[in-house]
Amino acid sequence: MVDNSLITIGKIVAPHGVRGDVRVIPLTDFPERFQTMKYVLLDDGRKLGIKEVKYHKQFVLLSFIGLSDRNAVEELKGKIIKVTREELVALPEGHYYTFDIIGLAVYDETGTFLGIVKEVMPTGSNDVYIVEAENQHSIMIPALKDVVKIIDLQSKRMTVKLQEEWE
């Protein structure tokens, strides 16, 4: 589990127009979240109050309180927008954020340590967890209920049912 207190949800790519709007590429599965946000946290530590949120093509357009022209927002280009863990969109039970899965220790049902999740690979039908074993080879574990038996974020541990072809 990656221990980040702030999670990236967007990147400011450019000013938009002359009234101080910025164009943001959403880096979240929930771009509608910007609609309810009161402020954003930037990667340089600044907290900017949101005045207005609009959507244009694949972009989120934000305007900030106190920044009312293009020159005022020009220096925001390239800044990363983050949220605290408490501000994350709640996921349904049994669903997890990728950054919570990466770093989990993986064990089989007998308690044998298999390795650490190093990557989550989306495949379309289901994700696949890439687990790096102690001998530096990788095990690919499908993120399926009959394979992944327990995910315990508190103890940073995942328990899986090994398939014969993996052994």
pLDDT grade for 1, boundaries at 50, 70 and 90: very low
More confident residue, 164 or 110: 110
Domain spanning 6-87, CATH class = mainly beta
Q: What is the pLDDT of residues 41-64, one digit of tens each?
A: 999 999 999 999 999 999 999 999
Mean pLDDT of 62-88: 93
What is the per-residue burial (b if ≥16 Cβ within 10 Å, else e) of 129-164?
bbbbeeeeeebebebeeeebeebeeeeeebbbeeee
Q: Are 156 and 104 in contact (CB under 8 A)?
A: yes
Question: Which secondary structure element, helix H or strand E, spans residue 100, and what is its range?
Answer: helix 98-101
pLDDT grade for 2, boundaries at 50, 70 and 90: very low
Candidates 3.20.20.330, 3.30.360.10, 3.40.50.300, 2.30.30.240; correct CATH number of 98-166? 2.30.30.240
Mean pLDDT of 12-24: 96
CB-CB neighbours of 85 under 10 Å: 13
- Is the pLDDT reported for residue 4 higher than 60? no
Where are the domains positioned within the chain? 6-87, 98-166
For the chain, give the percent of residues with pLDDT over 90: 75
For the chain, give the percent of residues with pLDDT over 70: 95
Q: What is the pLDDT of residue 134?
A: 84
pLDDT grade for 165, boundaries at 50, 70 and 90: low
